[in-house]
Structure 1
């Protein structure tokens, strides 16, 4: 193969313009396609900036023409030649470089390539597992390179804004103490401390609080975090977040600064103007009207609570649910009263996936009211439901009766599904909202105790402090999440900074003083040395870029992601390890598990 000796790239392929007409350029890249027209060979040469056409002919340089006859798709080339205008009949308006071409005066074949397992082009129709196995080829595709370039620009904008606003970027440890109060930790055995383990950080939470105590009062980090949890389209076992913490700032100041950060990022990277201030709703409001603490506000369709309207009816399903402390809520789907019965039956099955035992419906058609519960509720009640829901002729009302949690989950998902079916969602819209005042705790039925809804370092509202011991289920936190298009971008809170309050919160989630000291003693000791009021938040970088690019999966915006089984199909991680390695780490594998290790 040839080398680059004596050649130095002068331009990227996509950056050559008509201004270089008549000039010599040196280009490097991959063969996207090759077309042999007899005495002329056309090569589309690609690099990360785009594609340019190269023309080889024996009339220009015979040796290079012979090499051009040998090249195939994805060969790596270096080209030296003159930029010239294309003939008018051959101009390609679909290419940014479509008016020019490079006459090949010298070609060097830097490397050959096997035929790729899929075409290196956008919108390629190939199974994702193949794309992930050959990720280095998948990343050659222009849309994937665009995604990674966008990721770089977002991170650059973050650093630029935060630097201008007095923040310092500080790294925190990735080998930490295990504090299993949330998702499962990834554990790392310590060779030099037999029988002991580090944990990879689920977040830098405790360290950034310690940085506030140290006096570094505006910290940020684009941090790698690790959680051993079941995966979904927007989850990975390792992920990246923008982590921030600030001292001596009120919640209002933190929210305003964060809004300015979001505005700066979206304007710098996308040229999109986020309208400030971002709207704010409470957690109670979000759950009452949308059934979710991350509501998609690109469309309306709020819940209507019709429990009192149907409390005294003869419909046993509604009456039984209400008597057991449940509720009945409805959504109004505008202009969808002519829904086919088969589709209605499918909706019953749909909500069943989210725990609902049934679905009632009312169609306010031009030909009159149709409902499978008309005879149980009576026309007056049906009309009252329609009035409460703001229904008009042509609308469809869908109702679910169950425990509040089931109604929230099932009707919330149904709301989004009906918005999709009725084309209410503007895919080009960015609908931000803050969700404030989260409950401090939620009850874990399996463990029979309260657990922190966010984490146990979140400060309770001042007016709820006296409920920590007596009524933890009604304590609200100084917590906030930023939601975009129904996806939680991230969130945070004001933190506890007094040792006595932190101890009371630990007690509320069932940690004894001994347990608390064992897990978080270093933090509690730090509180004894003048901890300032502080708060912060963290944003999932992967999710944010996924939404900015309008992708469906964060795997499309991560260079080397894992599958939903936490497997890297390219490198085949996780993999077996040798027995010798385990012995060095003082790890013993049971006899029946010995097939999991190498000999």
Structure 2
């Protein structure tokens, strides 16, 4: 509590309260009403471990603290409360990290009836944009959010939560390596049709020293290396003086709209005559290397890095490399909030550990195409099931996922079919989601919603690096509340009342 006297921390906590007020005001301005849902509830498969509460009245049975008010808010839609929101406390027994505290967090929880995905976007985009604008201190906030399909996000950015302040977009350059003199990639492509080669452009990164640093970084990430090509002028050298001239000409062109001086500088310094360097360039040949340069629109003083293999296995590393290049070359505009929707998530994924189909994200999402699409994909087999898309979406900001939502599966037959494909029976569905399943029998309106992480939004707005900097009385990294001494042992009498026995060495 003494920590809260520090000026920065005190200011962050006060800002947090103001941000929550802004959320409430804007939601009510959009015609939403605030409701409170139960805290003691039943366990549900939200993707994390539950916090369980033993029942004294019902020995041997347990309540669960809500991981999210998912079922309750959908039941509200069936009860005629068609525009719900709540600043909801949520509880998940997860390991702590910088952007997630152990135990509990708060989210702006939202649900709407008789809506499509576009209706949800139209309602929530101005709310989230407005909250950021209220507290951005003049930093630009994205006005019209791009909608990026999940597969495109992985292909261009190597992440489903891309930092769009970084201008780098990766591109597929497989065709330039197929049958080429660079035998490492050419051989991989010839042996496996899944193999792709992705290029990571590095504007202004065209020096051997930088390329070697990136190669060493990749080795530190457990990779064999990071192939590269860089381009230099055949007439001039990229000295600080030349870069200064070019920068001044670019500034003048931006200020006046007159690009003549920029053209003159580029021509005089030989920026439009190129020579490719690096081991890959030597083996790939001038024609193919030039084709890559033109595809990526690179110039003298730029570089490009390459990753190859099955994208499903290397896209995360490619995304890390993109981030690293952007940071090293200072390409990221730190003074803005870049928001976007990520859409068209896969409905299912393959669980390699259990060798079965699982839900990719929210099990209550509506698959695109409904029950007919589920049945058709089931007939075709695993690949068809894994290619199904969900009416599901995320909001991302500066490399963080700050919200997730979907248009819901509101037909009981479709709901059962979706779960049957993951190995559950109709009886399992009725046992686990009986309240919602029975409510669906009476007819449910088309509905959808989302939940935005209050803690992450606050963290981004105030520029905090860790959620502890914007939270009152946070637990430590071992999930201990040292101030209150929690968790703690309890007396034998309490345990007996709850019909609970503590086993020695439990969990060790």
TM-score band, normalised by shorter chain: 0.7 to 0.9
User: Taking structure 1 as reference, are residues 376 and 157 closer, same or farther at Cα in structure 2, changes over 3 Å only?
Assistant: same
Cα deviations by residue, 1:212-236 (Å, 9 ceiling, x for unpaired): 0111111111011111122221112
1:577 to 480, 487, 490: 490
The answer to whether the 8 A contact 2:197-2:306 is kept is yes
The answer to whether the 8 A contact 1:358-1:400 is kept is no
Cα deviations by residue, 1:437-459 (Å, 9 ceiling, x for unpaired): 11111111112122222211101
Give the match for residue 216 of structure 2: 346
Counterpart-to-counterpart distance in 2, 1:328 and 1:565: 42
The answer to whether the 8 A contact 1:351-1:411 is kept is no
The answer to whether the 8 A contact 2:374-2:385 is kept is no
Counterpart-to-counterpart distance in 2, 1:271 and 1:550: 11
Give the match for residue 104 of structure 2: 238
2:82 to 191, 213, 217: 217
1:326 to 195, 215, 228: 195
Figure out how many residues of one structure are paired with residues of the other and give that number.
457
User: Taking structure 1 as reference, are residues 198 and 225 closer, same or farther at Cα in structure 2, changes over 3 Å only?
Assistant: same
Say yes or no: does 1:492 pair with 2:359. Answer: no
Q: Structure 1 or 2: larger strand share? A: 1
Counterpart-to-counterpart distance in 1, 2:29 and 2:374: 37
- Deviation larger for 292-301 or 158-167: 158-167
**CA positional deviation for 1:156:** 0.8
Say yes or no: does 1:361 pair with 2:268. Answer: no
Counterpart-to-counterpart distance in 2, 1:469 and 1:543: 38
Counterpart-to-counterpart distance in 2, 1:508 and 1:484: 34
- Root-mean-square deviation (CA, aligned residues, Å) is 2.1
Give the match for residue 438 of structure 1: 345
TM-score (norm 2): 0.85
**CA positional deviation for 1:265:** 1.8
Give the match for residue 24 of structure 2: 159
Give the match for residue 98 of structure 1: none
TM-score (norm 1): 0.73
**CA positional deviation for 1:361:** 1.0
1:514 to 421, 427, 430: 427
Give the match for residue 204 of structure 1: 69
Unaligned runs of 5+ in 1: 1-135
Instruction: Give the secondary structure class of the aligned counterpart of 1:477.
Output: coil
Say yes or no: does 1:567 pair with 2:480. Answer: yes
Say yes or no: does 1:264 pair with 2:130. Answer: yes
1:271-310 map, 5 Å: 274-310=141-177
**CA positional deviation for 1:345:** 3.5
Cα deviations by residue, 1:288-328 (Å, 9 ceiling, x for unpaired): 21111111111211111111221223444323433232221
Instruction: Give the secondary structure class of the aligned counterpart of 2:276.
Output: strand
Say yes or no: does 1:524 pair with 2:437. Answer: yes
User: Taking structure 1 as reference, are residues 593 and 247 closer, same or farther at Cα in structure 2, changes over 3 Å only?
Assistant: closer
Q: Which structure has the greater CA radius of gyration? A: 1
Counterpart-to-counterpart distance in 2, 1:479 and 1:403: 25
Instruction: Give the secondary structure class of the aligned counterpart of 1:373.
Output: helix
User: Taking structure 1 as reference, are residues 563 and 468 closer, same or farther at Cα in structure 2, changes over 3 Å only?
Assistant: farther
Q: Structure 1 or 2: larger helix share? A: 2
**CA positional deviation for 1:433:** 0.8
Give the match for residue 249 of structure 1: 115
Instruction: Give the secondary structure class of the aligned counterpart of 2:148.
Output: strand
